[in-house]
Amino acid sequence: MVRLRIALAQIDSTVGDLAGNSSRVLEATRAAAERGAHLVVFPELFLTGYPVEDLALRTSFVDASIEMTAQLARRLADEGLGEVPIVLGYLNRADLEPRLGQPAGAPLNAAAIIHRGEVVASTAKHHLPNYGVFDEYRYFVRGDRLPIFRLRGADVAVAICEDLWQNGGPVSVVAEAGAGLLVVPNASPYERDKDDVRLALCRRRAREAGCALAYVNAVGGQDELVFDGDSLVVSGTGELLARAPQFAEELLVVDVDVPAADPEAPYGEFGVDAQDGTSIVVERFALPGEPAEPYPPADPGIAARLDPLGEVYAALVLGVRDYVRKNGFRSVVLGLSGGIDSALTATIASDAVGPDRVHVALMPSRYSSEHSVSDAEELVKRQGVHSRTVPIGGIVDAFEREIELTGLAAENLQARVRGMILMGLSNEHGHLVLTTGNKSELATGYSTLYGDSAGGFAPIKDVPKTMVWELARWRNAQAGKPSGLPEGFLHPFPAPPIPENSITKEPSAELRPGQRDVDSLPPYEVLDRLLDDYVEKDLGRDSLIAAGHDPALVERVIRLVDQAEYKRRQYPPGPKITPKNFGRDRRLPITNRWRETT
Amino acid sequence: MVRLRIALAQIDSTVGDLAGNSSRVLEATRAAAERGAHLVVFPELFLTGYPVEDLALRTSFVDASIEMTAQLARRLADEGLGEVPIVLGYLNRADLEPRLGQPAGAPLNAAAIIHRGEVVASTAKHHLPNYGVFDEYRYFVRGDRLPIFRLRGADVAVAICEDLWQNGGPVSVVAEAGAGLLVVPNASPYERDKDDVRLALCRRRAREAGCALAYVNAVGGQDELVFDGDSLVVSGTGELLARAPQFAEELLVVDVDVPAADPEAPYGEFGVDAQDGTSIVVERFALPGEPAEPYPPADPGIAARLDPLGEVYAALVLGVRDYVRKNGFRSVVLGLSGGIDSALTATIASDAVGPDRVHVALMPSRYSSEHSVSDAEELVKRQGVHSRTVPIGGIVDAFEREIELTGLAAENLQARVRGMILMGLSNEHGHLVLTTGNKSELATGYSTLYGDSAGGFAPIKDVPKTMVWELARWRNAQAGKPSGLPEGFLHPFPAPPIPENSITKEPSAELRPGQRDVDSLPPYEVLDRLLDDYVEKDLGRDSLIAAGHDPALVERVIRLVDQAEYKRRQYPPGPKITPKNFGRDRRLPITNRWRETT
C-alpha cells in the first residue's frame, strides 16, 4: 500500500474573477503544502467559477482562462509550490472544427493537472448534465480523455462531477484501466437531503471503480445556486474516511492508503470502451517525484451533519451573504410588515450580513392592523436593525386622485407603492432590496408584480409557507446557545430574534379591511402538500386526485399555478433548496393554453 | 415520373391548445382534400404548439398528445378524409428505461404519418438543437428511425427541422436509402434575412438527398418567437418550385414530379450508417391507395419576398398580435411620451390589434417639454387611439414628502410612477401593458427597473434605436398606398401615422431638466454598430478595438452592457428578430466579476 496525503480544497470562488480565484488557489496550495499534502484538488471550474453560462461561448473568456491557468502554474513554481501537484477546474477548449450544433469555440469543462510550473495534462467532463439547473450541452463539448498519473507509486485518476452521477464513462474506464484513487472535482448545488444521496453515490462508485474516491465540492452562493461543500473521501470498499462540513470552507487533508500501482502497467495512451456508447482514451503517465515514505496518518475527522432545518437555514444565509458580497453591495433593505415572511427574511439578512447592515422600512397603510406595526417594531428592537417608518397613505391617495382603481387593482397599488419606496431607498443609498415572498405565494401567484416581488434577491422564494414557520421556530430556538451551524452563520442574538406573535398570528396581506390569506388560498398545510406533488413531482390532475388531494382544490390550485408563470419569470433570484425553485429548473411557456384541469 | 400533389399547411397553432390545434388540422386537411392533395404536411409539433418547454416533461401532457393524435386520426376518417395521408408534428415518447441525464418520460419531438384512421408510422427528430433559443437536449430524446412510405408509386421520406440544418443524419440516410421526396416539418423562428439562408439550405440538402424537398414552416407568434412561414418546395436539383408568403397563413398546394419508386426496393426495416456517429433504422412501407394518374399541374406560385424593413415590421406586428390574442387580452395600454420609441410602439400596436383597442396614457412631469405633449397628442389624433392624460407631478410630490430621493433615484421614481399608472390601468381594465424600450437601451441598461421596463410585452426590445427610426420612416412611407405586407398587417391610415417631429427630434428621457440621451450614451449610430459587434458577434475587447471602434468607448460600453444583466433578465418578452435578443439566446450570470475591460 501507498499512503497519499491529499488535500481537498473546499473553498469558494466567484464567477468571472480569474485573478481572485487564482490567488485563492495559491493560498490553498501553500496551506496544503505546509500540511504535507502530496496532491491538492480544487472544485469543478474553480478558476472561472461555476456556472459561467454564456461566458463559455466567448472567445476572450476561454482564452483568459487558459492563459491564467498557465500563469498560475508558473507562479506556483516561482513561489516554491511546484512540487505539489494540483488538480484545478478551468475552462479549456477542444481542437474541433466549428459546426452547427456544437457550442461556439468548443469549450471544455476541464481540469488541469499542474506540476512543476506546467499544465502536464488536461481532462474534461465526459457526461454533460442538461437537466434541472444544468445546461451543459449548450456550453461544452464532451471530454473523451482520462488521465491516470502515477504519484509517489500510486495511480490517480480524474473525473468531473456528473461523470460520477451517470452510468458508464470515466468510472467504468477507471475500473477497466485500474487506479488506486479517483479524484473528482465538483460544483454540485445544494438541495435538501442531497448529502445522503451524495454519500451513497460516492460509496457505490468507489466500489465500481475499485479504488478510493475523493469528492471535492464547491462551497458558496452563486446567483440561485448554493454549493454546500460536504467534500468527502471513501475507501475502495465504500467506507467513509473523511468528510468536510456543509456550507463552510475547509481544507480537508486526508491520508489515504491505496494499493501501489502495477509496475507493469504501461505508460502511454490507449482506448477503452466507456460502456455508454462511446470510448475514452486513457492517458497514463508519471509525475516525477519521490516515492512515498511511510508516516503516521493525520486524523481528518468526519464532520457532523446539520439537522434538516439547520441545513436549509444555513443554505439561505450563505446564499444571501454571497449574493450581497459577490455583487458588491454593502447593505440590504426590506419591507417589514409584522408578518412572518418579512420577519424571517430580516432575520436571515441579519445572520447573513449583520444587523448593522440591514435596513427595514415599516410602510403601514390604512389597512395595517395595530399588531403589524408593533410586531415589526418588536423585531427591530430585538435585532437592532436600522429602521424607518414610511406611511403610504398619502402616496396612495395621490395616485387615486389621478386614476380610479378598485378591487385587486387598488390592492396591487399599495404593494407597488411599497416596492417603489424600497427601490427608491435602494437607488438612493445603495442597499440591495430583499423581497420577502415565499414559495407557496410564488407558486400560486399570490403576489403583486412590481410590488412585493420588486427587488434584487429573494431569500425565501424556495421556502414553502409551512417551512417558513418551521424555520422561524428553529431560529428562535437557537438563541443563546451554540447551534450546530458553522461559525459565523448565526448572529449571537441573546434572545429569540423573531417576535412570537409574528409566528403565531394568522397570515394576511392586509391590502383590504379584514383580509386573510385563507380567503384566497386553502390552509397552507393543505396547499403545501399539494404544491409539492404538483410542482416537485410533476403529477397530473388525475394522479393528484388519486393521491388523495381534494378534486376541487386540485383544479383550483393547478389553475392558479399555471396562470402565474409570467409573474414567476419576473421574480428575483433566490437560494435554491429544492429540485424546483421556479428558476431555470421549471419553465413553461407564458403563452400556454394547456390546462390540466380541462 | 410520378406527379404528387402535396399541401404544405403553413398555419398557426397555439402551445397547449390540443383541441384547437386539432380542429385546425381537420380544417386544413379538408381544404387540401378539396384541392386534390395526395399528402398534407403540417409544421413541427403542430398538435402541441412549439416550444412546449417543460410541458414535454409532464406525463399528462405527453399522454394527452398521443391520445389526441390517435383521436384525430379516427376523426379524419370519420369525416371522410381518411384517404389523404397527413404528416403531423406531435409529442410522442420513446420506450426507454428512465435514467439520469435522460429527459423524464423520454419525450420525442415526433411526426405521425396518419392514414385511414390510424397512425401508421411515427418518426422523431434526430438532431436536437441546443443553442440559441433551443434547449432540445433538455426536452427530447433523439429519434433514430426514418420512415419512407410509398405513396401513389413514389417514395416519401420524413425528417424534422434541425435534421435539415446539421450534417449527417436523416438527409444522408435518405441519400443512401433513396426516396423521391423528402418532407420536412419545421418550427423555425424568424431572424432577419433568415429566408435567404433557408432557401440556400433547402437547395443544398435536396441535392444531397437526391430528391425533391418540401419544407413546411410554422407561422405566428409564440412568446418571444415569431415563426415566419416561408414554406417552400425545391426539386432534386435545387430548383425553387413554390414558396409561400412570409408571416401569413397559407395552404400551399404544389404538384411535384418525382421519380417512380424502385419496385425492387424491399419493404421492411434496415439500419443505415447516418454519417454522424449514429445509425438510423429505415422503415420502408406502402400506403395503400391508387397509383397516380397523370393530370395537369396547378401553378402554386412563388410568393415575393418582403423588403428588409417590411420583413422586420411584419414580424413585430405578428408578434404583438399573437401575444395579445393567444394570452386572451382584448386591448393594450402604453405610455406615450412624444418620443420615437413609444410612437413606433403605439403604431405597431395599432397595426396589430387596431387603434380602437389601443389605449395610451400621456404622463407629463415637470420636466416634460411642450413638444412631448403636443407630439403625443398629434399621434393620438392621427391614429385615433384611446387617450388619457395623467400628470405625475402630484404623485411624485407625495413620494418625495415621505422619502428624500436625489439624482438617479429621483429620475427612476418618475419612471416608476409611470410604470405603476400603466399597471394600475392594466389591472383595472384588463389591458396588456406594452413597454416601449428599444434594444440599444436594453443592452446598455438605460432604463428603469419597474419603471419604463414594467409591462407584459415589449414590442421593440430587439430593435436597435437606429432601426427604430428606420422603421418609423418606413411605416410612414406606407400610408395611403399598398404595402408589400400580407393583408391586414397595416391599418389603413390615410396619412403617415407617426408625427414627423417624433422622428426628427433629439432623443431624451426627460427625467431631469435639459436631459439628452447623448449626455449618457454615445450617438446611436456609433453605439449600435458597437453593440452589434459586441452582442451579436461576441467579439472581445481587443477584437472590437481591432475592428476600429474607439478604445475608450469600447471599455465604457462593455461595462454598461455587462452590468445590465439583472435588468435584462427582468425585462418582458418581445418579438425576436436578431440572433441575440437578450432572451434565452444570451444569458450571463448575474453575479459575474468578468470584465472584458480589465
Contact flag B54-A587 (C-beta cutoff 8 Å)? yes
What's the rounded Cα separation, in Å, for the pair A554 and A548?
A: 10
Mutation for testing the B interface, residue in A97, A541, A590 having most B CBs under 10 Å: A590
B308-519 has the same fold as B2-286? no
Bridge partners for A110 per DSSP: A90, A124
Spell out which residues of chain B touch residue A427, defining contact as CB-CB under 8 Å: 405, 408-409, 412
Contact flag A61-B594 (C-beta cutoff 8 Å)? yes
What is the share, in percent, of chain A residues with pLDDT greater than 90? Answer: 90
C-alpha cell at B442: 436594453
Nearest by CB: A55 against B417, B541, B594: B594
Contact flag B394-A390 (C-beta cutoff 8 Å)? no
Contact flag B101-A162 (C-beta cutoff 8 Å)? yes
Shortest Cα distance, chain B CAs vs residue A294, angstroms:
42
ipTM: 0.95
A441 is in an annotated binding site: yes
Q: Quick one: closest CA in A to B418, which residue?
A: A399
Nearest by CB: B137 against A137, A223, A428: A137
Nearest by CB: A421 against B403, B428, B540: B403
Beta strands in B11-85 (DSSP E): 39-41
C-alpha cell at B305: 419576398
Spell out which residues of chain B touch residue A166, defining contact as CB-CB under 8 Å: 99-101
Would you say residue B431 has pLDDT above 80? yes
Contact flag A135-B138 (C-beta cutoff 8 Å)? yes
What is the share, in percent, of chain B residues with pLDDT greater than 70? Answer: 99
A336 is in an annotated binding site: yes
Which of A238, A257, A258, A251 lies closest to A300 in space, CA to CA?
A: A251
Shortest Cα distance, chain A CAs vs residue B154, angstroms:
32
Would you say residue B293 has pLDDT above 80? no
B213 is in an annotated binding site: no
Would you say residue A413 has pLDDT above 60? yes
> What is the rounded average pLDDT of the residues A273-282?
96
Nearest by CB: B408 against A17, A427, A566: A427
Query: What's the pLDDT tens digit per position in B454-480?
Result: 999 999 999 999 999 999 999 999 998
Q: Count chain A–chain B contacts defined by CB atoms under 8 A.
A: 249
Q: Quick one: closest CA in A to B407, which residue?
A: A428
Name residues whose C-beta falls within 8 Å of residue A279's C-beta, 6 or more positions apart in sequence.
A144, A271, A272, A273
Res B195: pLDDT: 86
Spell out which residues of chain A touch residue B49, defining contact as CB-CB under 8 Å: 589, 593
Triad A423, A424, A425: Cα angle to 5°? 90
Would you say residue B417 has pLDDT above 60? yes
Would you say residue A598 has pLDDT above 60? no
Average pLDDT of chain B, as a whole number: 96
B494 contacts B480 by C-beta, under 8 angstroms: yes
Res B292: pLDDT: 67
> What is the rounded average pLDDT of the residues B87-108?
97
What's the rounded Cα separation, in Å, for the pair B25 and B111?
A: 13
Spell out which residues of chain A touch residue B274, defining contact as CB-CB under 8 Å: none
DSSP string, A221-267: EETTEEEEB--EEE-TT--EEEEPPBSS-EEEEEEEEEPPP-TTSPP
Nearest by CB: B53 against A16, A53, A589: A589
B342 is in an annotated binding site: yes
Contact flag B427-A421 (C-beta cutoff 8 Å)? no
pTM of this prediction?
A: 0.96
Phi-psi region of A275 (alpha: psi -120 to 50; beta: other; left: phi over 0): left
C-alpha cell at A19: 485573478
- In this prediction, residue B299 has a pLDDT band, given cuts at 50, 70 and 90, of confident
Res A300: pLDDT: 80
- In this prediction, residue B36 has a pLDDT band, given cuts at 50, 70 and 90, of very high
Nearest by CB: A566 against B61, B127, B456: B456
> Which residues of A are the active-site residues?
44, 125, 161
Res B296: pLDDT: 86
Distances from the Cα of B191 to the Cα of A308, B198, B314, B434, B463, angstroms: 49, 11, 12, 22, 12
Spell out which residues of chain A touch residue B135, defining contact as CB-CB under 8 Å: 135, 138
Name residues whose C-beta falls within 8 Å of residue B573's C-beta, 6 or more positions apart in sequence.
A590, B223, B224, B323, B457, B458, B461, B583
> What is the rounded average pLDDT of the residues A329-358?
98
- Residue-wise burial string across A12-24, b where 16 or more C-beta atoms lie within 10 A, e elsewhere: bbbbbbbeebbeb
Q: Where are the domains of chain B?
A: 2-286, 308-519
Distances from the Cα of A254 to the Cα of A91, A112, A156, B331, angstroms: 27, 21, 15, 67
DSSP conformation class of B278: -
Shortest Cα distance, chain A CAs vs residue B598, angstroms:
10
Mutation for testing the A interface, residue in B97, B425, B593, B595 having most A CBs under 10 Å: B593
Which of B359, B246, B316 lies closest to B471 in space, CA to CA?
A: B316
Query: What's the pLDDT tens digit per position in A78-115?
Result: 999 999 999 999 999 999 999 999 999 999 999 999 99
Would you say residue B219 has pLDDT above 70? yes
Query: What's the pLDDT tens digit per position in B321-365?
Result: 999 999 999 999 999 999 999 999 999 999 999 999 999 999 999
> Which residues of B are the active-site residues?
44, 125, 161
Shortest Cα distance, chain A CAs vs residue B432, angstroms:
12
Query: What's the pLDDT tens digit per position in B138-155?
Result: 999 999 999 999 999 999
B337 is in an annotated binding site: yes
Q: Quick one: closest CA in B to A585, which residue?
A: B54
Homologous superfamily, domain B308-519: HUPs (3.40.50.620)
SS3 A217: strand
Homologous superfamily, domain A2-286: Carbon-nitrogen hydrolase (3.60.110.10)
Res B514: pLDDT: 86
Average pLDDT of chain A, as a whole number: 96
Query: Order of strands, edge to edge, in the sheet holding B154-158?
Result: B240-243, B232-234, B212-217, B181-186, B154-158, B145-151, B279-286, B268-273
Shortest Cα distance, chain A CAs vs residue B147, angstroms:
24
Contact flag B420-A416 (C-beta cutoff 8 Å)? yes
Element (H, E) at A299: none
- Contacts of B413-417 with CB under 8 Å at 24 or more apart are B413/A420, B413/A424, B414/B365, B414/B367, B414/B451, B414/B511, B415/B447, B415/B448, B415/B451, B415/B452, B415/B509, B415/B511, B416/A420, B416/A423, B416/A424, B416/B448, B416/B450, B416/B451, B416/B454, B417/A420, B417/B363, B417/B392
A567 is in an annotated binding site: yes
Shortest Cα distance, chain A CAs vs residue B65, angstroms:
11
Nearest by CB: B403 against A57, A424, A593: A424
Asked if the peptide bond before residue B486 counts as cis, ω within 30 degrees of 0, the response is no
Query: What's the pLDDT tens digit per position in B561-576?
Result: 999 999 999 999 999 9
Res B265: pLDDT: 87
> What is the rounded average pLDDT of the residues B186-199?
94
B576 is in an annotated binding site: no
Mutation for testing the B interface, residue in A592, A597, A598 having most B CBs under 10 Å: A592
Which of A324, A382, A365 lies closest to A503 in space, CA to CA?
A: A382
Query: What's the pLDDT tens digit per position in A352-386?
Result: 999 999 999 999 998 988 889 999 999 999 999 99
> What is the rounded average pLDDT of the residues A434-460?
97
Q: Quick one: closest CA in A to B162, which residue?
A: A101
Spell out which residues of chain B touch residue A412, defining contact as CB-CB under 8 Å: 423-424, 427
Would you say residue A292 has pLDDT above 70? no
Shortest Cα distance, chain B CAs vs residue A30, angstroms:
25
- In this prediction, residue B521 has a pLDDT band, given cuts at 50, 70 and 90, of confident
Spell out which residues of chain A touch residue B318, defining contact as CB-CB under 8 Å: none
